[in-house]
Amino acid sequence: MKYLDLVELIKEKPAYTKAGVKIGDFGAVMSEKTVDGKWQVVFSEFHTGKDIADIMVDEEDLRVYDKMPDDKIPKNN
């Protein structure tokens, strides 16, 4: 994992839920390295780009993607 990687949250934890982030949300890694096994990630709304949360996330709770998978793109209501 590295700075600006596209990541998906794949595990739910109370701290993530409290910040407004849920399984399936996508974000970008904002840190250059881990801090105690956690990455700083900014999660944003897909179509608006509005930030949802800027939080530290355990590495094992993230999946890295090279690009946004077509089947994960939310419908624009």
Q: What is the pLDDT of residues 27-54, one digit of tens each?
A: 999 999 999 999 999 999 888 889 999 9
Q: What is the pTM of this model?
A: 0.89
Measured between alpha carbons, how far is residue 47 from residues 9, 29, 39, 77 in Å? 18, 19, 24, 10
Instruction: Confirm whether 76 is domain-assigned.
Output: no
Structural domain range at position 64: 6-68
DSSP calls for 34-77: -BTTEEEEEEE-TTT--EEEEEEEEGGGEEEESS--GGGPPP--
pLDDT of residue 14: 98
- In contact, 56 and 35? CB cutoff 8 Å: yes
Instruction: Confirm whether 73 is domain-assigned.
Output: no
Tally of domains within the chain? 1
- In contact, 38 and 50? CB cutoff 8 Å: no
pLDDT of residue 70: 85
Instruction: Confirm whether 22 is domain-assigned.
Output: yes
Instruction: Confirm whether 33 is domain-assigned.
Output: yes
Instruction: Confirm whether 1 is domain-assigned.
Output: no
What average pLDDT does this structure show over 63-71? 91
Average pLDDT score over the chain? 93
